[in-house]
């Protein structure tokens, strides 16, 4: 089910303000996404940005695309907005005098690249040029202020866009901190990064948003997601301690403790100690 987050209440409760939309290099309205899974396009290799590669759309989420470079593995998928300037229709590279390159970590011998390229493009569904949208101009200077709220991609879990706060501002950079999460997820980025969005962008664009985590939140997370139009459902999570693998030194003479049943709302995320179950 599609989830929303009550930013208005959260801003009030935290006595904070949102970064104005003019701070961001994002279009005022989230762009339309007409890409479909399976379509092929050209993308800069995120691990080697001087290379243009063939990529396949693995899935779509709001105005974002999950991409995988053809000839690469399935462990290095990355996400791009439909109005990114790092993606183009097939043929763009050659038109601008470049040559398509194998991705970093090409799984075959480099000498088989030309044949691989022919085969991967033969009969492929190529994303039509008209669904690639122009990158917004964005602001000319860093207009962010410390303490302002925003929505930001979690670079360690890049499918997630999360509630965040500007922790610091320095020259062209801002420090993105994730509300209710330890600092391990924080990062510095340019003010015109495509990974940061104004408050409410996810809700507007049909992209899920992650509510704040539990840290320094008084234990209970008041600001959880609310399902849009689904009836709340309580789901049991059964953790059988009997399945825990024991080390050779463990006392196996004692009987295993009984299973523990935890009841939780199905939209709740497990956090560090309980796996997600959706
Ligand atoms: N289960 C992962 C996910 C963390 C997501 C953190 N983001 C939202 C800032 C973990 O606990 O590491």
Per-residue pLDDT for 125 more than 80? Answer: yes
Q: What's the whole-number mean pLDDT along residues 226-236?
A: 41
Name the residue among 11, 21, 15, 26 with its Cα closest to residue 64: 26
What is the pLDDT, as a whole number, of residue 230? 37
Residue 244: both structure tokens together: 């825990």
Q: Which protein residue has the closest C-alpha to ligand 1 atom 5?
A: 157
Q: How far is the CA of 271 from the centre of ligand 1 (A)?
A: 7
The ligand 1 atom at the shortest distance from the C-alpha of residue 269 is: 1
pLDDT at 4: 82
Distance (Å, whole) CA 91 – CA 71: 18
Distance of CA 61 to the CA centre of its chain: 9
Share the mean pLDDT of the chain. 85
Q: What is the pLDDT of residues 60-91, one digit of tens each?
A: 999 999 999 999 999 999 999 999 999 999 99
Average pLDDT over residues 115-144: 98
The rounded Å distance from CA 34 to ligand 1 centre is: 30
Report, as an integer, the average pLDDT of 134-142. Answer: 97
From the list 91, 79, 89, the residue with the least C-alpha distance to 46 is 79
Write out the two tokens for 23.
């701070």
- In which band, very low, low, confident or very high, does the pLDDT at 215 lie, cut at 50, 70 and 90? confident
The backbone torsions φ and ψ at residue 9, rounded to the nearest 5 degrees and listed phi first, read -65, -40
φ, ψ at 241 (rounded to 5°) = -65, -15
Question: What are the backbone dihedrals phi and psi of residue 15, each rounded to the nearest 5 degrees, phi first?
Answer: 50, 50
Does the ipTM exceed 0.90? yes
Residues 48 and 72 sit within 8 Å (Cβ to Cβ) = no
Long-range contacts of residues 97-101, Cβ cutoff 8 Å, at least 24 apart: 98/52, 100/42, 100/52, 100/53, 100/54, 101/45, 101/48, 101/51, 101/52, 101/53
C-beta of residue 65 within 8 angstroms of C-beta of residue 79: yes
Of residues 137, 12, 33, the one with CA closest to residue 80: 33
Question: Is pLDDT at 200 greater than 80 in this prediction?
Answer: yes
Q: How far apart are CA 240 and CA 235, in angstroms?
A: 16
Give the pLDDT confidence of 4-63 residue by residue, as tens digits.
899 999 999 999 999 999 999 999 999 999 999 999 999 999 999 999 999 999 999 999
Per-residue model confidence (pLDDT) at position 267: 56
Query: How far from chain centre, in Å, is Cα 108?
Result: 29
Q: Is residue 254 scored above 70 in pLDDT? A: no
Band (222; pLDDT cuts 50, 70, 90) = low
Which of 157, 274, 278 maximizes ligand 1 atoms within 8 Å of its Cβ, making it the mutation to test the pocket? Answer: 157
Total Cβ atoms within 10 A of residue 40:
19
Ligand 1 pocket at CB < 6 A: 154, 157, 160, 162, 178, 181, 185, 210, 272
What pLDDT does 244 receive? 36
Question: Which atom belonging to ligand 1 lies closest to the Cα atom of 213?
Answer: 8
Q: Whose CA is nearest to atom 12 of ligand 1?
A: 272
Q: Is residue 51 within 8 Å of 44, Cβ to Cβ?
A: yes
């Amino acid at each position: 089910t599609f989830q929303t987050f009550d930013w208005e209440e959260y801003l009030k409760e935290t006595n904070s303000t949102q970064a104005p939309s003019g701070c961001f290099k994002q279009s005022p309205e989230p762009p339309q996404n007409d890409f479909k899974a399976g379509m092929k396009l050209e993308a800069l290799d995120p691990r080697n940005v001087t290379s243009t590669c063939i990529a396949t759309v693995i899935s779509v989420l709001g105005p974002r695309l999950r991409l995988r470079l053809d000839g690469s593995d399935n462990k290095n998928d990355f996400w791009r907005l439909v109005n990114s300037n790092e993606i183009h229709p097939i043929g763009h590279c050659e038109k601008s005098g470049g040559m398509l390159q194998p991705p970093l970590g090409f799984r075959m011998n480099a000498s088989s690249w030309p044949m691989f390229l022919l085969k991967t493009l033969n009969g492929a569904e190529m994303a039509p040029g008209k669904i690639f949208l122009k990158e917004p101009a964005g602001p000319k200077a860093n207009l962010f202020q410390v303490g302002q709220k925003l929505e930001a991609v979690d670079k360690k879990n890049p499918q997630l866009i999360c509630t965040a706060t500007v922790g610091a501002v320095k020259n062209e950079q801002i420090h993105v901190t994730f509300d209710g999460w330890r600092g391990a997820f924080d990062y510095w980025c340019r003010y015109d990064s495509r990974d940061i969005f104004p408050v409410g962008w996810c809700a507007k664009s049909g992209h899920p948003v992650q509510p704040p985590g539990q840290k320094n939140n008084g234990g209970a997370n008041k600001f959880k997601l609310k399902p849009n139009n689904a009836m709340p459902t309580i789901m049991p999570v059964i953790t059988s301690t009997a399945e825990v693998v024991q080390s050779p030194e463990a006392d196996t003479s004692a009987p295993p403790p009984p299973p523990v049943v935890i009841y939780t709302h199905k939209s709740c995320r497990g956090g560090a100690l309980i796996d997600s179950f959706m």
